[in-house]
Amino acid sequence: MTLPSRKALFPLIAVLTLVTIVYSNHFHNGFHYDDFHTITTNPWIRSLRNIPHIFADGDTFSTLPANRGWRPLVTASLAVDYAIAKGLHPGYFQTSDFCWFLVQLCLIYALFRHILDFARPEASSVALDNTFARPGIPNQIIALFATALYGVHPAIAETVNYIIQRGDVYSTLAVIAGLLLYIRWPHRRHLGLYLIPVVLGLLSKPPALVFPAILFAYLLLFENAKPLRALSRTLPALLLSIGFGILSKAMTPKSYDPGAWPAYDYRITQPLVALRYFRNFFLPLQLSADTDHIAETSILHGYAWVGVIFLLILLAVAIYTSREMKLRPIAFGFWWFVIALLPTSLFPLAEIENDHRMFFPFVGLVLSVIYTLALLADAAYARARLTLTVACAAILLLASHGTRLRNVVWYNEESLWYDVTLKSPQNGRGLMNYGLTQMEKGDYVRALNYFTRATQFSPDYYVLEINLGISNGALNNDAEAERHFARSLELAPQDAQALYFYASWLRERGRYNEAIQYLNYNIQNNPDYLDARYLLMWIYHDLGDSASLQRTANDLLAQFPGDSVAESWLAGRIPS
């Protein structure tokens, strides 16, 4: 394996510098969407003492039971960031994610360079300062450009900006690191050291489970292993993934509910989703934090059949390019793209597609595409070097501009969800979330308008019913407000938010006994949702019931020592 030499180190630093400059306007971006129930309201990340419990209990991932999964390394890293930041300062969390992203780029370059040198050894020794020593584009330049394009690609910004999706960064980084360790120390493979980063990836997010398949593809293509031999070499990784798959399922709370589409509809739509991701690599013009695409109901319905044809063509190209060593980086990249999509294609989820899911597959896709273009331009490199350089610079410039624009979109909730309403106008959740930003500004009429529009596309969405209740309550439409709160509880009778906001509305109307009843039920079913306890203490304060207030505060501190709100009440201070 070729590691970066001193001559390669400075160009690699230049690539990392470029990526840092491009992302320089993202470090002040805030928390978004799933960040709220996994970070901002998650009490388990507020103390490093909780880390052992985080690894032992999947309930610590989120304050919403339906969203709880077992990703202990992600939650533990959030606790570390919270401790360093001394609170919920998103810039610290963004910086943490970005630093690991830069590490990933270094490993991507090392992997690409090794693969290209193996497949194209005649171009491996061409130095950057001696481009005419051998014909063709040097592997070093191809690897650097592919790494740079991945680093500044607008689709990748969808993950880098979304703090809780650091799980994608960790798991992708782990797969690359594991593969590099396997390549770098062939005589120590029996020790299984290459599996250490894979374990860390599996503790971060399920997509790392595909590591054995990627390793299998590498062995077939670059070590010329026969299928059975490659399978035997992959066996330790395969057993590890199976074991972690079983463990992850056992550790995932029973309350977890992905809200998935019907399995058949979801799966037959995934080839079309893969085609959309492929298109976004070349034309990332319709990126959306929350798309409005829905599942197809038949392989012949809509454009599902187009996706199937695309997938068959992609697999055919991967098989064809596997036949010749010089073309095998193309095959490996396409196999990586397909394999990395398997976890989110085979297991039905609530969203048919998510743009942050392109992060892992694009590692392979950028290798295939850039290497293909390099082979096509090889013959012209010596006489058209300046033209090719300008073209590459223009591509990086356009991609960088697109990424900076996406960074602006991810600045706050209002800018993000307004973009969603433009890109995904039939997404009820997107319309609702933009309405929420208007409600936070006090524009309840405008918010109610967006909530009402959202009901056309999400008529049975309990969170939308909650917000319809809040906005109607603010406009003194009490009967309508209570109807929507009741509807939210009908759809999600134990949901923490549905119970909390109804109780909050009841408190505002002076219906304290009812509010206390709902809050106690909420605390019983959602003990990690601390807003319910905070509201209950305020109600006891309103009623002058100091004994109940102190009891509630002590119960809270028994589970979460050091909680500042509970300590303030016990000290006789009203929390700020």
* Domains in the chain: boundaries: 6-409, 441-570
Which helix (H) or strand (E) segment holds residue 409: the answer is helix 385-409
Q: In a structure prediction context, what are the per-residue pLDDT tens digits for the chain, which is 576 residues long?
A: 445 556 668 999 999 999 999 999 999 999 999 999 999 999 999 999 999 999 999 999 999 888 889 999 999 999 999 999 999 999 999 999 999 999 999 999 999 999 999 999 887 765 444 444 456 899 999 999 999 999 999 999 999 999 999 999 999 999 999 999 999 898 889 899 999 999 999 999 999 999 999 999 999 999 988 999 999 999 999 999 999 999 999 999 988 888 778 999 999 999 999 999 999 999 999 999 999 999 999 988 788 999 999 999 999 999 999 999 999 999 999 999 999 999 999 999 989 999 999 999 999 999 999 999 999 998 888 788 899 999 999 999 999 999 999 999 999 999 999 999 999 999 999 999 999 999 999 999 999 999 999 999 999 999 999 999 999 999 999 999 999 999 999 999 999 999 999 999 999 999 999 999 999 999 999 999 999 999 999 999 999 999 999 999 999 999 999 999 999 999 999 997
pTM score: 0.93
Residues 31 and 88: beta-carbon distance below 8 Å: yes
DSSP annotation string for 60-124: GG-SSGGG----HHHHHHHHHHHHHHTS--HHHHHHHHHHHHHHHHHHHHHHHHHHHHHH-GGGS
Which of 334, 299, 523 is closest to 537 using CA atoms? 523
pLDDT at 1: 46
pLDDT at 56: 95
* Burial environment of residue 85 by CB neighbours within 10 A (0 to 12, 13 to 18, 19 or more): middle
CA dist., res. 260 & res. 351, Å (int): 7
Res 135: pLDDT: 60
pLDDT at 6 (0 to 100): 64
Cα 213 to the center of its chain, rounded Å: 21
Query: Distance between CA atoms of 352 and 360, rounded to whole angstroms?
Result: 17
Which DSSP category does 528 fall into? T
First to last CA, the chain: 58
Tell me the C-alpha to C-alpha distance, in Å, between residue 186 and each of 1, 2, 181, 399, 486: 10, 14, 8, 37, 63
* Phi, psi (deg, nearest 5) at residue 302: 60, -130
- The structure tokens listed for 408 are 């602006």
CB 491 within 8 A of CB 462: yes
CATH ID of 441-570, from 3.40.220.10, 3.40.640.10, 1.25.40.10, 1.10.1200.10 = 1.25.40.10
Q: What is the pLDDT of residue 134?
A: 53
Q: How many residues are there in the chain?
A: 576
Residue 136: the pLDDT is 81
Q: Which of the 8 DSSP states describes residue 350? A: S
